[in-house]
């Protein structure tokens, strides 16, 4: 079986993250191999939520238009509340991994469900902490998953964006997630 690699870009705002996803889509990157993670709101003073009818979903809140627009590009997503981080939206391939981890109680070592899913992709613990910290600070993650060639192509596209950082991970998890 081939190892799935990942590239993770951190964006300071939702506009930049959305633009990156649209660049990847325009370059015909497989949407089933992309994920976006970010807070669903900017201010706790506004109502936040979503509802769906059939294949349509509508988000409320200051970032509702962005999440609603991206939802249509992806094959599923979820809205959840993480301790310390708060409410986040996860769209794409990573959403299924997060749900699977929650349902099978795989969350271990003090990691959040999101952290465990990232770790399951072979992202090292220090990077998982970095990504959760970025989310806590209202950042957004745009992730691509796939073969080394796919990841090289996605990275080449992401370096043309305003990402604060871009990291590539080889998909080989370390032995433990918990602190020794």
pLDDT tens-place string over residues 7-49: 999 999 988 998 999 999 999 998 888 888 887 554 455 444 4
Nearest residue to 71 (alpha-carbon basis) of 113, 31, 19: 31
Report the C-alpha gap between 92 and 90 in whole angstroms: 7
DSSP classification of residue 46: S
Report the C-alpha gap between 31 and 10 in whole angstroms: 18
Q: What is the pLDDT of residue 178?
A: 46
Q: Can you spell out the DSSP letters for 58-74?
A: EEESTTHHHHHHHHTTS
Report the C-alpha gap between 128 and 116 in whole angstroms: 8
Q: What is the pLDDT of residue 159?
A: 97
Q: What is the pLDDT along the chain (180 residues), one digit of tens a residue?
A: 356 799 999 999 988 998 999 999 999 998 888 888 887 554 455 444 444 445 555 554 555 555 555 555 566 666 666 666 777 777 777 777 776 666 554 555 556 778 878 887 888 888 988 998 998 888 999 999 999 999 999 999 999 999 999 999 987 755 444 443
Taking the model in full, what pTM does it have? 0.74
């Amino acid at each position: 079986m081939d190892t799935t690699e990942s590239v993770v870009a951190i964006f300071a705002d939702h506009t930049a993250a959305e633009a990156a996803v649209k660049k990847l889509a325009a370059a015909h990157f497989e949407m089933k191999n992309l994920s976006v993670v970010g807070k669903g709101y900017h201010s706790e003073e506004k109502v936040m939520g979503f509802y769906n009818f059939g294949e349509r979903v509508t988000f409320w809140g200051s970032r509702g238009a962005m999440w609603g627009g991206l939802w249509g590009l992806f094959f599923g997503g979820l809205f959840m509340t993480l301790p310390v981080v708060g409410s986040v939206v996860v769209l794409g391939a990573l959403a299924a991994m997060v749900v699977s981890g929650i349902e099978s109680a795989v969350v271990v070592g003090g990691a959040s469900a999101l952290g465990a899913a990232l770790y399951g992709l072979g992202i090292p613990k220090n990077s998982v902490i970095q990504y959760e910290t970025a989310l806590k600070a209202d950042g957004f993650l745009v992730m691509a998953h796939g073969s080394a060639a796919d990841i090289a192509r996605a990275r080449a596209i992401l370096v043309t964006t305003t990402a604060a950082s871009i990291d590539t991970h080889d998909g080989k998890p370390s032995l433990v997630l918990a602190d020794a």
